[in-house]
Structure 1
Amino acid sequence: MENNKFILDSLKANLNSLDSATTWIFVTLLIVVLASFGSDEKLEFASFKIDRKYAGPIIYGMLVGLNFQVLKLLHNVNSILIEIKSGFGAETFELARIMLNKHPWIFNPFSEFESITSLIFDNLGYALLIVIWWMGNAIAYKLMFKQGRKIKLVGTGLAGLYLVFGLSSMAMIQAISEKVTYSSLKLITPFVGIVIGAVLFSALLYPLRKEIKSKKAVN
């Protein structure tokens, strides 16, 4: 029984950390979005000031680090579930499944409730996670868009890592979902999030593309 409690507490701790990490990412990105609309040479958010010239790669770097943290936590959750399933019995695994399904993590991709509105809210968290990923990509890319070649090169490398970690996180979420959820909509949700995120990405970059086209037309 003591071992059961320990493994379930470990699972809960990782879920709590995922909740904190993803919420922090979301809040940080909102602050950066607001700060990026200014025209100052330095981008200011929280108590930090970043030269706008280097803001894109720096934000990509931050996002890569945070995404890696999320990926590691998801890996922990998946590993714990495998351990529970193989060594702790069906009853403990059912408790673990319920914990994942009912955890109050606002972006919980494993949420499953039985109510009229659960069809929407159970899948909203996962879709929002993907939208947040796209939002981070759009903001960093926007800030990097008009910078020099060297800065773009560094930023592109970090963007590649960001993509790898993002796709790996999706794969890990899918692996966990197959163990603890029953809804077939969980297979569709990622695509909905990707579409919404891609639209958001295009919308954020549209003014830049328009500006570049205008300059080319003038020249």
Structure 2
Amino acid sequence: MNQEIIGAAFKNTLDSLDTFLKWFLSIAVVIWWAGLIETDTIDVLELKIPKSNAFPVIGIIFVLFNVVFLLKLKRLHFLLQETNVEKREDIVCTLFTHEWVLNPFGMFHDRRSVSWLHNCHRSLIVIVWWLCNASLINLYYSFQASQIQLIICYAGILGAFLLIGLMSLSEIISIADTLYQFSGDVNSRRIKERLKSLHDIIKPVMIIGVIAGLIITLLMLKTTLKL
């Protein structure tokens, strides 16, 4: 494939991931706040949804957001795999230096350390994912339906979140594995070291992100119940 097109598409995908996650987070904040205050309807994506029925509707919308995020990760991985040997160092540099704040592959310091302290920023994408999906908690308690409907909706939406979330985590780890395979094709010793440290640390920091996100979600739930 034309490598100029691959390179441009790769950067555009990174830009898209950055914009999409900021947009998702801003919507999640609105949903979280709407769940806390007294209101009859919730305005989201130019839709007016009765608060009493908002949980399943917005839950499905959020599931679709998760699917979009997963597809964007898969596209990023595909473009990496389609990069020719002579262009791999350039595309790795693009990935390392892109301004995407939640970039789990980005480099923000000169250390080639595998300690969590120097790589904690890689967990942020998982924590933000938890926060976005946890913003639905307040709507669950406003959902007016029978007990069986509540259970089915909650189990279905939560199950979809977990399934897609695990697939997204797997894709991030697979991308890190692919990048590590590029080590033999780059000339820079510093890049080789960073690719190795990224490969070694990515799984632990993703697990830490999952645990931290779960703790924050439980704290949010506890706060909601007190209110």
Q: TM-score, normalised by structure 2?
A: 0.79
Q: CA deviation at 1:173?
A: 0.6
For the pair 1:200 / 2:208, whether they are aligned, the reply is: no
CA RMSD for the aligned pairs?
Answer: 2.6
Structure 1's unaligned 5+ residue stretches are 212-219
For 1:178 and 1:113, the matched residues in 2 are separated by 20
The answer to whether the Cα contact below 8 Å between 1:111 and 1:122 also exists between their aligned partners in 2 is: no
Distance 1:108 1:121, change over 3 A: farther
Residues 54, 139 of structure 2: 8 Å contact kept: yes
Q: 1:214 matched to which residue of 2? A: none
Alignment of 1:1-219 (within 5 A): 3-44=2-43, 48-84=47-83, 88-89=84-85, 91-115=86-110, 123-124=120-121, 126-145=122-141, 147=143, 148=145, 149=147, 150-180=149-179, 181-183=195-197, 184-209=200-225
Q: CA separation in 2, counterparts of 1:98 and 1:35?
A: 41
State whether residues 35 and 43 of structure 1, in contact with CA within 8 Å, keep that contact through their aligned partners in structure 2. Answer: yes
One-letter code aligned to 1:26: L
Distance verdict in 2 for CA 1:121–1:10, change over 3 Å = farther
Does the 8 Å contact 2:7/2:91 carry over to 1?
Answer: yes
Q: Deviations over 1:147-182 (max 9, x none)?
A: 323244234312211211111111101111223333
Q: Distance in 2 between matches of 1:3 and 1:207?
A: 53
Runs (5+) with no aligned partner, structure 2:
180-194
In structure 1, C-alpha distance between the alignment counterparts of 2:40 and 2:207, rounded to whole Å: 37
Counterpart Cα distance in 2 of 1:164 and 1:179: 23
What letter is aligned with 1:182? Answer: K
8 Å contact kept, 1:52–1:143: yes
Identical-pair percentage: 24
Once the two structures are TM-superposed, the CA of residue 108 in structure 1 deviates from its matched residue by 0.5
Change (3 A) 1:204 1:67: same
User: Distance between the aligned counterparts of 2:118 and 2:49, measured in 1?
Assistant: 37
Q: Distance in 1 between matches of 2:33 and 2:103?
A: 26
Question: Matched residue of 1:49: which SS?
Answer: strand
Q: CA offsets, 1:18-52, max 9 Å, x none?
A: 11111111111112222221022323457543212
Aligned in 2, Cα 1:108/1:51: closer, same or farther, shift over 3 Å?
A: same
* Aligned residue in 1 for 2:184: none
Shift of 1:206: 1.1
2: CA distance, partners of 1:141 / 1:153: 15
The answer to whether the 8 Å contact 1:123/1:185 transfers is no
Name the CA shift for 1:22/1:53 in 2 (closer, same or farther; >3 Å).
same
Determine helix, strand or coil for the equivalent of 1:115: coil
- Which has the higher mean CA deviation after the structures are superposed, 32-41 or 194-203? 32-41
